Amino acid sequence: MTKESESLESGHGVQVVTPNDEHRFELDEDSLKELLLRDDIKHLPVVLVSVAGAYRKGKSFLLDFFLRYLDKTYNNGDDNSEWLGAPDEPLKGFTWRGGSERHTTGIHLWSQPFKASLPTGEKVVILVMDTQGTFDSNSTVKDNATVFALSTMLSSVQIYNLSQNIEEDDLQHLQLFMEYGRVAKDKMEGKPFQRLQFLIRDWSFPYDHPYGTVGGEQLLKKRLMVREDLHEELQGVRRDIDRCFEQVTCFLMPHPGLKVSTDPNFNGRLSDIDPEFLKCLSELMPMLLAPENLVLKKIGGETVKARDLLNYFRTYLQVFNSDTLPTPTTILEATAEANNTSALLEARAVYDKLMEEAAGASMPYLRDEMLHQEHARALNKAMHAFNAKKKMGGEEMANSFRSQLVKSVEEMFVHLVEQNKAKCMYHMFTTPAVFAVLLVLGYLLSTLGELFGMRLLASLGMCIVFVAVVLLAVWGYTRMTGNMREVGMQLDQIAIQIRAYAPGAAQPKLKET
């Protein structure tokens, strides 16, 4: 399914992960498939921007500005100067609200993916993720860790939304991935995660560090500095953050004004927001979302495509739905399996495409040896595609997935052989029947011509009879002797074409591959 004309108004947040009463998380696979397997995006590399952090800190609110920026930049041409919108326009998108009770639960993705081109010309798709706030009174430590871990592992840009400052606790919450990252680092190419963006809301000390990137970098340097006097564990977290993320940045946001934080009737309109906050938003958006700053999701050194993401969602949900938090080794093994599965599915798609072109349901009958040749060629190409992908989990795991690929392809081939035979059987009956009907029609035409003294009609009838007899004889010869198979196939095609003119006649639909 392709959705060409989308406006922000018609989009909505899709809850793809929902917590249940037993503190487990359920994946809405159907919704996820509808989004990730769209024909126009499933093959595109993914940029996944997520916002995570404590509850009631303006995450969903901020994401709605992301959506406005993305919509103006990627759906409405090049000029995005007016992206902030009109002064009294209510802020829509992911639902947000005031009050002290938590609002967003589980994980939501925006229903409209944004298609973009990198400066290199490469086409990518940008997905936006909103997450459940952590540390509300309904969630356990495991719930919090799960949502945070899922969003960090699935995103290429994790925006860590913090209120007022970077505290030691905030760094501690990154511990689980840091341990994972440490284990993963030795087993995969490159750093396990891409970009970690600290976003400090309501920064109140611009005289220490100014709002925006400059102050953010100063603060980050201070907070992440590995000082000798720090406890061993605290030094470890700092080192791990650096080891695990390709890029760690920080941005200081001013307070948005009292209307935003305290007015129950505030609807997000710009005129109620402090201009300094809007100025900083205008600095932050291109820093994260302009084409030259987009960060692709990579796992095990391999770029993740939209359809692969489905696989990773499934895998991570399964891993995190155990009774206790999974160990880094368990997560790593699951990641390696998902990574091999993606390579397998991509290779299988290569085989399917080539065989569809050569012997798909709509293609004519193919001689047995040619069908085998096509199969060998397609399998070879599929193997090549599988081998070309960087894979985690070592040679042993890759071998096991390689065998699975061969097995699934061979099963498919059995089906293709049957389908091909069915096409042959179809012609076995159809072709002689068409030529026989032609013969009878010719005979009738010549008899009528004789009867009414119309010699031209009689001669035409005899010609048709003659041609039909020759066609029948040649076709019979090719079938009985197996000689001149190309000629036989040509005759089958001629019969199909003649039959297409017959009223109400159509070739029966053969089973789709």
Contacts to ligand GTP by CB under 6 A: 55-61, 96-98, 102-104, 133, 201-202, 253, 255-256, 260-261, 266
Place of tokens 């068409």: 434
State the binding partner of 260 from Mg ion, ligand GTP, none, CB within 5 to 8 A by kind: ligand GTP
**Alpha-carbon distance values, 507 to 333, 366, 437 (Å):** 50, 17, 17
User: Of the candidates 8, 25, 47, 60, which one interacts with Mg ion according to CB under 5 A?
Assistant: 60
Q: Which is nearer to ligand GTP, 98 or 286 (CB)?
A: 98
State the binding partner of 57 from ligand GTP, Mg ion, none, CB within 5 to 8 A by kind: ligand GTP
> Which residue's CB atom is positioned nearest to Mg ion?
104
Q: Which is nearer to Mg ion, 60 or 431 (CB)?
A: 60
Report the alpha-carbon distance of residue 87 to residue 67 in Å, rounded.
17
Secondary structure element (H or E) that encloses residue 415, with its range: helix 394-451
Q: How far is the CB of 364 from Mg ion (least distance, A)?
A: 57
Q: Which is nearer to Mg ion, 96 or 198 (CB)?
A: 96
State the binding partner of 274 from ligand GTP, Mg ion, none, CB within 5 to 8 A by kind: none
Report the alpha-carbon distance of residue 156 to residue 195 in Å, rounded.
6
* DSSP assignment letter at 80: -
Nearest C-alpha neighbor of 416 from the set 370, 458, 347: 370
Q: Which is nearer to ligand GTP, 41 or 252 (CB)?
A: 252
State the binding partner of 102 from ligand GTP, Mg ion, none, CB within 5 to 8 A by kind: ligand GTP
| Sign of the torsion angle spanned by Cα atoms 223, 187, 148, 172 | negative
Q: Are 417 and 371 in contact (CB under 8 A)?
A: yes
Q: Are 423 and 416 in contact (CB under 8 A)?
A: no
Place of tokens 């201009």: 275
Q: Which is nearer to Mg ion, 54 or 153 (CB)?
A: 54
Place of tokens 């760690």: 248
Q: How far is the CB of 150 from ligand GTP (least distance, A)?
A: 15
Q: Which is nearer to Mg ion, 60 or 335 (CB)?
A: 60
Q: How far is the CB of 88 from ligand GTP (least distance, A)?
A: 16
Q: Give the distance between the most distant pair of CA atoms in the chain.
A: 118
Q: How far is the CB of 150 from Mg ion (least distance, A)?
A: 16
Q: Which two tokens stand for residue 31?
A: 């919704």
Secondary structure element (H or E) that encloses residue 462, with its range: helix 455-481
Q: How far is the CB of 126 from ligand GTP (least distance, A)?
A: 20
Q: Are 461 and 447 in contact (CB under 8 A)?
A: yes
Buried b (16+ CB within 10 A) or exposed e, 212-221: bbebbbebbe
Q: Which is nearer to ligand GTP, 206 or 364 (CB)?
A: 206
Q: How far is the CB of 307 from ligand GTP (least distance, A)?
A: 29
State the binding partner of 201 from ligand GTP, Mg ion, none, CB within 5 to 8 A by kind: ligand GTP
Q: Which is nearer to Mg ion, 59 or 479 (CB)?
A: 59
Give the x-and-dash track for 102-131 against Mg ion (CB under 5 A). -xx---------------------------
Q: How far is the CB of 59 from Mg ion (least distance, A)?
A: 5
Q: How far is the CB of 268 from ligand GTP (least distance, A)?
A: 7
Q: Which is nearer to ligand GTP, 104 or 431 (CB)?
A: 104
Extended strands (E) in 235-303: 245-252, 298-299, 302-303
Burial of 442 by CB count in 10 Å (0-12 exposed, 13-18 middle, 19+ buried)?
A: buried
Chain-centre distance for alpha carbon 90: 31
SS3 category, 25: strand
Segment interacting with Mg ion (CB under 5 A) among 98-106, 284-292, 347-355, 401-409: 98-106
Q: Are 61 and 130 in contact (CB under 8 A)?
A: no
User: Binding to Mg ion by residue 134, rule CB under 5 A?
Assistant: no
Q: How far is the CB of 265 from ligand GTP (least distance, A)?
A: 11
Q: How far is the CB of 57 from ligand GTP (least distance, A)?
A: 4
Q: How far is the CB of 113 from Mg ion (least distance, A)?
A: 20
SS3 category, 199: strand
State the binding partner of 61 from ligand GTP, Mg ion, none, CB within 5 to 8 A by kind: ligand GTP
* DSSP assignment letter at 362: T
State the binding partner of 55 from Mg ion, ligand GTP, none, CB within 5 to 8 A by kind: ligand GTP
With a CB cutoff of 8 Å and minimum separation 6, the contacts of 189 are 300, 301, 390
Segment interacting with Mg ion (CB under 5 A) among 56-64, 114-122, 404-412, 436-444: 56-64
With a CB cutoff of 8 Å and minimum separation 6, the contacts of 217 are 249, 250
Q: How far is the CB of 163 from ligand GTP (least distance, A)?
A: 8
Q: Which is nearer to Mg ion, 54 or 412 (CB)?
A: 54
Q: Which is nearer to ligand GTP, 242 or 274 (CB)?
A: 274
Report the alpha-carbon distance of residue 471 to residue 490 in Å, rounded.
11
Report the alpha-carbon distance of residue 344 to residue 382 in Å, rounded.
9
**Alpha-carbon distance values, 368 to 185, 354, 365 (Å):** 49, 17, 9
Segment interacting with Mg ion (CB under 5 A) among 54-62, 149-157, 434-442, 493-501: 54-62
Q: Which is nearer to Mg ion, 11 or 461 (CB)?
A: 11
> Can you give the binding site for Mg ion, defined by CB under 5 A?
59-60, 103-104
